[in-house]
Amino acid sequence: MAGVWEGAFSLGHVYRAEKHATSRHLTESIQYEFEVAFINGIGDILDWEEKIVRYMIGEVEKSCKAEVELLKEYGYNLVKLSEKPFPRITLAEALEIYFKRTGVDDRKEPDLSPEAEREMCKWAEEETGSPFVFVTHYPLTKVAFYAMPSKEHEGMAEYGDLLCNGAEITSGGQRRHTYDLMVEGLKFKELNPDNFEGYLEIFKFGMPPHGGFALGLERFTQMLFGFENIRRTTLFYRDLHRLTP
């Protein structure tokens, strides 16, 4: 769609065979997805993410004043936004900061632990006055086959997460946009390109550099107000142990 419209978004239900039964995972959620074409790199996607997140929070402040005040009475305060841009650090930099602040050496790990995510948000709040931070360039082994390989960081992807109040609220970045790159990505993940023939066909005729991100609204709401469990922000939650109503 990004190749046709240059920019597109969707809002709808997402169903996942989620293996995790935690305070922030669901098997069904409402997700906002965004895609845009003709980008210069992951930085353009992060710019859009920050702009959209700031807009959404601003709309909550403006349109839901009574609800925000009511939640304050129960100890749940809307997250603070700073005028300073959200920090942007690589996974390697994040793990180094985590090590220096806590003494926990996860510097060889391919991802941030939940404890490290919380610490990164504390660090961001100390640096900027707001608990938002982008962590980018995760290993290619940790992301989808269509994630663009990084030219500057070998073995890493032009992908990242936006963290808020101790948890990831968005994931996204630059996508592979050529046929050869897509086939390479599938083979890297030990997938057979023949099984993706219909999908790959569009990349034979020219696809602009593009990217995007996804944001789960239930977790987004959870982290904006600091709720302990995502069930508090889900009307009819569904997880590993509950499918109805």
**DSSP string computed for 60-95:** HHHH-HHHHHHHHHTT--PPP--SSPPPEEEHHHHH
Instruction: Point out the least confidently predicted range of 23-32, 104-113, 141-150.
Output: 23-32
pLDDT value at residue 19: 80
Q: Is the pLDDT of residue 4 over 90?
A: no
Comparing 7 with 245, which gets the higher pLDDT? Answer: 7
Q: Is the pLDDT of residue 20 over 80?
A: no
Cα–Cα dist 169/135, whole Å = 11
Q: Where are the domains of the chain?
A: 2-233
pLDDT value at residue 14: 94
pLDDT value at residue 2: 62
Identity of residue 54: R
123 half-sphere exposure, CB direction, 13 A CA radius = 23
Q: How many CB atoms lie within 10 A of CB 88?
A: 16
Nearest to 20 by CA among 227, 225, 223, 167: 167
Instruction: Point out which residues pair with 214 in neighbouring strands.
Output: 33, 171
pLDDT value at residue 105: 98
Residue 130 token pair: 């707001």
Cα–Cα dist 32/171, whole Å = 11
Angle at the Cα of 55 from the Cα atoms of 144 and 91, rounded to 5 degrees: 35
Instruction: Point out which residues pair with 30 in neighbouring strands.
Output: 13
Cis amide linkage into residue 87, ω under 30° from 0 = no
pLDDT tens digit string along 31-86?
A: 999 999 999 999 999 999 999 999 999 999 999 999 999 999 999 999 999 999 99
Q: What is the mean pLDDT of residues 177-193?
A: 98
DSSP helix/strand/coil, 234: coil
Residue 149 token pair: 């390989």
Instruction: Point out the least confidently predicted range of 102-106, 145-149, 199-203.
Output: 199-203
What pTM was estimated for this model as a whole?
Answer: 0.94
Instruction: Point out the least confidently predicted range of 75-84, 132-141, 236-245.
Output: 236-245
Fold of 2-233: BirA Bifunctional Protein; domain 2 (3.30.930)
CA 192 to chain centre: 27
Nearest to 35 by CA among 143, 217, 174: 174
pLDDT value at residue 128: 97
pLDDT value at residue 1: 64
Cα–Cα dist 110/157, whole Å = 12
Q: How confident is the model at residue 122 (pLDDT cuts 50, 70, 90)?
A: very high
Nearest to 54 by CA among 227, 215, 218: 215
What is the separation, in whole angstroms, between the first and last Cα of the chain? 34
Q: How confident is the model at residue 3 (pLDDT cuts 50, 70, 90)?
A: low
pLDDT value at residue 245: 80
- Tracing tokens 């944001």 back to the chain, one arrives at 215
